[in-house]
Structures are given as C-alpha cells and as structure tokens.
Amino acid sequence: MNHILQEDARDILKQDISWGKFDGKRILVTGAGGMLGSYISRTILQWKELSGNDLELYALVRHPEKLPEDIRDQVKVLRQSVAEPIQTDLEFHYIIHAASPASPLIMREDPVGTIAANTLGAYYTLDLARRSHAEGYLFISSREIYGQPYDDQKEFTEDSYGFVDPLSPRSCYPEGKKAAETMCASFAQQYGLNVKVARLAHTYGPGMSVDDGRVQADFLRDVINDRNIVMKSEGKPIRTYTYVSDAVAAIFRILLDSDEMVYNISSPESTVSIRQLAETLADAYEDRGIQVVMDLPKETKDTGAAPFTLGILNSDRLHNIGWQPQYSLKEGLMRTVQYLENK
C-alpha cells in the first residue's frame, strides 16, 4: 500500500470515534472504487486488522477490476449498478452510500444518467437499509445542493439554501442530491431508520482523477507534469476545499457519534478563490519554477463545472461534535502530489 494511503488511514483511526460499533458487523460501501469510497473501505479494513474483529465488508461496484489493488482482495463484492434494485438476500448493519457521478464532464454529457444514479441509488440503498433493520445509513451529499447564495448570504449552514435552476440540465447533480436527501428524511420519518447526510465541500486527495474536468484536477495535473498552472478564467469563484482523509474522518464521526441528521463537511481555513488555489500550488512548488499563467479563451466553453460563484459551508455543527481538520490546503495538496507522483 502506498505510504500516504497507509498514513491517512492510521491518522483517521487515531481519532476519538466509536470504532467498536463496527465489531462483528456487516458493512456495505457503495462506490468503493472512487476516492471517498476507497478511503472509507481502506479505513474499515485497517480497523478490522488492528482490532482483530470479524466484521465483514462488502463493496457494491459496477466494475470490481477498478477497485484499488490494496483493498480488492479484502472485500466481498456485489457487482451491479447502484441505480438498479440491489440483488442480495444479505442484511447489513451499516450502509455508506458513496456512489455518485462526480465528474463535471459526466454531468454535461449524461445529465439523465447523473440524476438517475443519485435518486435511484439513494432509494435502493435506503430500501436495503430498511429491509436490513440497519443500525446506521449514511448518504454522501454535496455542497452543490445549496446552489448559488442570495445577495445577503455569506455562507451556508445546514438549514439555509440558495438558488438552483431546476430547468438547467447541469442541475441534474444538485437536484438529484436534493431529491436523495428528501428520500433520506422520508425513510427516517416513515420507518424510523437511523439516517445521516454528509454534505461535502470540494474534496480532493489521493485517489482523485486528474482528468475529470474540475479545476483542482487540472491544476494538479499541471504540477505533476512540471508545467505552469494554466488558468482558463480569472479564478474569482470562491470554494472551500477539504483533504480526503479529513472528510472521511468526518463521515465516520457523523455515522457513529452524531445526533443530528445533516452535517456540512468543510475546512474553513481552506476557503479560497480558484486563483488562490492555483497560487497555493505554485507556491508549494516554487523550487520547480512553476508559475500561474493566464490563458483566457475568447469564448466561454461549457465544461460542466458548477455555475456557483460562492460556496462557503459553515461546519460549526460538525466542530461541535469534535471534528477538526488535520491538514491545511497547502499540506493536503502536497500530499496529493506526492501520492500522484509515486503511485
């Protein structure tokens, strides 16, 4: 296992979280081949190894061959799409639903598939949790459900919302996540299911794709290829970024040790404009001579990126149950580069 991945899993497990609730349990993680799903799975497997308990970990994935090598042989696989009825008679104590299209390119090219994956995937996993009488279910949602803030909004708490245009095909992602959250609340109310929702800010780290069209991916690809970081816009939109191991630690804390249903996950110290994100990376690798350069296109190209210009999440509710991010933006970016250059 890459040492960055190993260190991150160990750091997550050092946190004061009720890991013992997993002992002897059967756990399902959807989307275990993605960045978040693989980190979640790897952490559970590390807990199993360190504690010596007999938990069972299942991964629901369409393509088992895409599971990271270090977890591929340690999980039991349910091979299917999450957007179809789940073909199993097994019952699960915990379900973490991490499967979702995340690439702006997919959202642009396949909005129907994107909204189907988010809505149907939530319904079928929630129904499995209901049939299983699960002890806990966690749905991974997104900052995008908040949309564009109104003029008087500086940040989003869990109880505030902005504007999302329901008739824009790009809204397939935030509207799909919002519908899934409504299903979560409905299953909780109607069936008494213990449901949690984690709304993530922009999350990055080892396991992310550098070819999915997001600006942080483009910038990281430039760095690992020792190229100048190319800005295709003035970089004014403001985002909050969270390193993946900090996000995953928050997910486990929410699942195992929280009282509320919904929590924002974001590192407030990592709130920057897109230009500042590029400058942070360039500063980290000043010794390579990497600079930020502007290459503004004459015409605006539809990249599938979220149209929101401000997206700051307030994570006070999460901080109040003991979560603190461990990595600054610069530290997280440098860990990501180190992984990408040595994987």
Is the distance from CB of 70 to CB of 5 less than 8 angstroms? yes
How does residue 103 score in pLDDT terms, banded at 50, 70 and 90? confident
Residue-wise pLDDT for 2-37, tens only, equals 899 999 999 999 999 999 999 999 999 999 999 999
Model confidence at 107, pLDDT cuts 50, 70, 90, reads confident
Section 65-87 average pLDDT: 95
Q: Is the pLDDT of residue 71 over 70?
A: yes
Lowest average pLDDT, out of 59-68, 249-258, 303-312, goes to 303-312
Query: Phi, psi (5° rounding) for residue 5?
Result: -60, -40
Mean pLDDT of 225-253: 94
Cβ burial, residue 217 (10 Å; 0-12/13-18/19+)? middle
User: Is pLDDT of 297 > 90?
Assistant: no
For residue 223, give Cα distances in angstroms to 288, 290, 300. Answer: 9, 7, 24
Cβ count within 10 A of residue 292: 20
pLDDT band at 102 (very low <50, low <70, confident <90, very high): confident
Superfamily of domain 3-209+241-267+313-328: NAD(P)-binding Rossmann-like Domain (3.40.50.720)
Select from 156, 132, 131, 124 the least CA-distant residue to 143. 156
Q: Cα-flanking dihedrals φ and ψ of residue 28, to 5°?
A: -115, 130
Q: Do 20 and 260 contact (CB within 8 A), yes or no? A: no
First-to-last CA distance in the chain? 9
Q: Which residues make Cβ contacts (< 8 Å) with residue 319, sequence separation at least 6?
A: none
* φ/ψ of residue 259, rounded to 5: -110, -35
Relative orientation angle of helices 244-257 and 3-13, to the nearest 10 degrees: 30
Whether pLDDT at 1 is above 70? yes
Cα-Cα-Cα-Cα dihedral of 320, 240, 194, 128, to 10°?
-160
* Residue-range domain boundaries for the chain: 3-209+241-267+313-328
Cβ distance 37 to 99 under 8 Å? yes
pLDDT value at residue 305? 55
pLDDT in tens, 149-179: 887 778 899 998 888 999 999 999 999 999 9
Q: What is the mean pLDDT of residues 193-222?
A: 93
pLDDT in tens, 258-281: 999 999 999 989 999 999 999 999
Give me 251's structure tokens: 């997910």
pLDDT of residue 308: 58
What is the sign of the dihedral through the CA atoms of 279, 340, 27 and 58? positive
Does residue 307 carry a pLDDT above 70? no
**Helix or strand (DSSP H, E) at 123:** helix 111-132
> Which residue from 41, 46, 89, 80 is spatially nearest to 61, judged by alpha carbons?
80
Residues 143, 38, 113, 262, Cα dihedral to 10°: -30
Q: Is the pLDDT of residue 311 over 80?
A: no
**Using CA atoms, how far apart are residues 247 and 86, in angstroms rounded to an integer?**
27
Which helix (H) or strand (E) segment holds residue 58: the answer is strand 56-61
**In this model, does residue 95 exceed pLDDT 80?**
yes
